[in-house]
Amino acid sequence: MQIQEDKPYDDINITPMLDLAYVLLVIFIIMTTAAVQGMKVNLPKASDQPSLSKPKTVAITITNDGKIFMDAIPVTMDELADRLRAKKAQIPDLPVVVRGDGATQYQNVINVLALLGQLDITQLGLVTQKLVK
């Protein structure tokens, strides 16, 4: 029986560490390429009917000369009130966005907002442009 002498190791065995690094690298490459490429399939065509789960948003546009449009159709304030009342009867949580021109009189926008308040439309958004610095 031989007795090992107490001598320091001359080199460190890094083979297991390299094996682990290569395995992790291969797993990373496979997972990355699978996530990016995906599978190519022929997707089915959707019907032209609107979705029942998400109500259509009504867009009200106020131009710089004070004209009011509801979904690109010119309307007066009375017509706007009637159409919104009819839509509100169909969809209780009717979402509405208001797009006011930057050069329009502030009173025109306030009149539309007051009408929306009278009709109890609470799902309201004001459209703005992103500030460019």
Domain positions in the chain are 64-126
Q: Residue 120 has which token pair?
A: 């109890």
Neighbours of 9 (CB within 10 A): 6
The model's pTM: 0.56
Residues in the chain: 133
Q: Which residues contact 125 (CB under 8 A, 6 or more apart)?
A: 95, 96, 97, 98
The neighbouring-strand residues paired with 124 are 96
Residues 40, 28: Cα–Cα separation, whole Å = 22
In angstroms, the Cα distances linking 120 to 94, 105, 123, 131 are 10, 24, 9, 31
Of 31, 45, 60, 63, give the one whose Cα is nearest residue 124.
Answer: 60
* pLDDT, one tens digit for every residue, the chain (133 residues): 566 666 676 777 888 899 999 999 999 888 776 655 444 556 667 666 555 455 688 989 988 888 899 988 899 999 999 999 999 998 888 899 988 888 888 888 899 999 999 999 988 988 877 766 7
Q: Which CATH number fits domain 64-126: 3.20.20.60, 3.40.50.2300, 3.30.420.270, 3.90.76.10?
A: 3.30.420.270
Question: Where are the strands (E) in 3-94, listed by range?
Answer: 58-62, 68-70, 73-75
